[in-house]
Amino acid sequence: MKPHAVERAERLVGSTAESWARVVRTGYSLNEHWTVVFADGMNAFVKTARIAPSPQWLRDEHAVLAAVSGPHMPRLLAFEDADEPLLLLEDLMPARWPPPWREGDVQAVLTALGEISALQAPLPRLADDPGWNGWRTIESDPQPFLSTGLRDAAWLERMLPALVAAADATPLAGDGLLHCDVRSDNLCLKDGRAVLVDWNHARLGDARFDIAFWLPSLVLERGPKPKHFDVDAYAALVAGFFAAHAGLPKPAGAPTVRAFQRAQAAVALDWAEAVL
């Protein structure tokens, strides 16, 4: 039987699906993803969203891709808004998805982030969001962080003032386009360039932000250490973000993401301590 998402995609593009396959991605969302080959020759990656807050995230991703395009972004094919939105993008599954990271891959991502930051889009600005400093969240309620076991209460009491101050001082202002969720399951290598997917969190700000938030997951995948990227000014902010999230309840739509955030927090905490 033809999946409902595929039938919706057929109606949306006006072509019959000749074949389709459910995609099991390395990401953390439980929402449906399909690759579809249409009779007119179009190959599409089909995304649906039903588990909150994913429907709004899919609308947000469509808004970004409708407003700006480039060689480091997937091509937008079609979109249908509904209680369960449907987004059709070019099929990038045949591209190479790290890890492992090969020679030149990290530089390809850095090049992509630099070129992306030169683009303009009508998006909110990072600097206008007061919630990036996770250490202030931990300051008001330290128990979720302490429950991770990453550090103890004595460490937190000793380090918290410096971490709060350093995160508050992080440069966020800027006009460049940011992806705001750079990690390996959100990027691939195609024709010698990096292409980033899942644009629902995109904002405007300082280009170093995307590099810094990528680094903990890169280390976990045997990539270079953060000290090689000249973004130490972001260490406390990155550590605070992951530390504030790692001990929270598991979200219904991505139940495994907290373990990954804990692993990223462990890397970022060591980085922040070394910088401070």
Backbone angles phi, psi at 220, to 5 degrees: -65, -20
Lowest mean pLDDT among 35-39, 64-68, 253-257: 253-257
Specify the 3-state DSSP secondary structure of 271: helix
Task: Please answer whether residues 113 and 211 qualify as being in contact, where contact means their C-beta atoms are separated by less than 8 angstroms.
Answer: yes
* Residue 120 pLDDT: 87
In the predicted model, is pLDDT for residue 29 greater than 80? no
Model pLDDT for residues 103-144, shown as the tens digit of each residue: 999 999 999 999 999 998 999 999 999 889 999 999 999 999
Model pLDDT for residues 60-100, shown as the tens digit of each residue: 999 999 999 999 999 999 999 999 999 999 999 999 999 99
> Regarding beta strands 43-48 and 33-38, do their DSSP bridges make them parallel or antiparallel, or are they unpaired?
antiparallel
Q: Where are the domains of the chain?
A: 4-90, 105-275
Model pLDDT for residues 177-225, shown as the tens digit of each residue: 999 999 999 999 999 999 999 999 999 999 999 999 999 999 999 999 9
Helix (H) or strand (E) holding 219: helix 208-220
3-state secondary structure 231-243: CHHHHHHHHHHHH
In the predicted model, is pLDDT for residue 238 greater than 90? yes
pTM: 0.94
- CATH number of the domain at 105-275, please? 3.90.1200.10
Task: Please answer whether residues 111 and 195 qualify as being in contact, where contact means their C-beta atoms are separated by less than 8 angstroms.
Answer: no
Average pLDDT for 243-247: 98
- CATH number of the domain at 4-90, please? 3.30.200.20
